Structure 1
Amino acid sequence: MKTNIISTIVSILLLSLTVQAQTSKLVLEESKVTAIGTSNTHDWEGDVKKMTGDAKITVENANVTAIESLNLTMEVSSMESGKSSLDGNMHKTMYAKKHPNITYKLTSATVDSEGNVTAQGNLTINGNTKAITLKPTTTVSNGKVTFKGTTTFNMSDYGVEPPSLMFGAIKVVDEVKIEMKVTFI
């Protein structure tokens, strides 16, 4: 009888540990968001160095089963390419002084039985907000949840005019690809 009670208590405790719905914070050191583009003369990219975020994620048996909320704030002036002149042009083009942050706010998410995520959210750049759909992969390891994915959009959709430099000799292409890996704990 005593063994059955202990077994029941242990089973209940283990079951309660398999489902976690918690608010998690972004792990900056394990996260990376990169904007990748091209011009008529060379490719370019800029890594976001400062960002914050939080998410409410349900994990069951080491798999993401639901995402209730997810918010990211990325500092425009922290974007770095490794070339100071390019960084300055990038910050100026994106109106970093007037609109210092790029934000993403999840509006809804579905996770199918195979763990595939479809996330709808609002991306705000330069004060302009557009709905986007992301289909990131997910990994759960050591209490951390990582989302990886890519998306593309046109800068002009967000009121950002693709720059041309050196009296029009260098023209940046409107389309930008975003590669992201964001980790929450």
Structure 2
Amino acid sequence: MAASAWTLDPSHGELLLTTGVTGPAAAMGHRLTIAMTAWQATVNWSGGEPSAVELTLDVDSLEVLRGDGGVKGLTGVEKGLARSNALKSLDAKRYPHIRFSADEVTAVDGGYRLSGTLEIHGRSRPRSVDLRVEDLGETWRMACDAVVSHRDFGVKPYSLMMGAMKVADEVAVSFHAEHAKD
């Protein structure tokens, strides 16, 4: 009999964001890889199948891991500045959490489709993601990839040089985690 709920956090896996750069001076900018270091997911079970998923992440846990591209490497000071700019764009003090609530979980080839609501920057939008699930024997491996638009949630991407270089509208999100079987 499966547990009635699982709780997942960064000890089970990671949630990464990857930004792009756009504008006439884009070659000078860095594509950032960002880790969200404080998040929690709850998976509710019914009849041996997942029935609902809730993911909450703390916006202030944003950590810039690296910057690819650009004229030169990203220094520690620049990582701090990129973090600060991202927190300002997301208005982290006013909107400290990002949430995804899926109240519809449907089995699909290789996993589940999670359908529900994504809330960022105080705005909610319907959202579905496909979660790949792999049986590793003693554990389950879960993974998904998605793209989120700043524009859809009223977030103005950070820009420099009067807009000649700015963070691209779309952000790639990747999640993977493992959980022991009951």
Q: Give 1:1-185 correspondences, 5 Å limit.
A: 19-39=1-21, 40=26, 41-57=29-45, 66-82=49-65, 83-112=79-108, 114-141=109-136, 144-184=139-179
CA contact (8 A) 2:8 2:41 kept: yes
CA contact (8 A) 2:38 2:58 kept: yes
Q: Give the distance between the partners of 2:126 and 2:169, measured in 1 at CA.
A: 18
SS of structure 1 residue aligned to 2:93:
coil
- 1:42 deviates by 2.2
Superposed CA RMSD: 2.1
Name the CA shift for 1:59/1:42 in 2 (closer, same or farther; >3 Å).
farther
Query: Identity over the aligned pairs, expressed in percent?
Result: 22
User: Which has the higher Rg, Structure 1 or Structure 2?
Assistant: 1
The unaligned stretches of length 5 or more in structure 2 are 66-78
**TM-score, structure 2 length as denominator?**
0.79
Aligned length: 161
**TM-score, structure 1 length as denominator?**
0.78
CA contact (8 A) 1:25 1:184 kept: no
Query: Which structure dedicates a bigger proportion of its chain to helix?
Result: 1
CA contact (8 A) 2:119 2:125 kept: yes
Q: Give the distance between the partners of 2:47 and 2:63, measured in 1 at CA.
A: 34
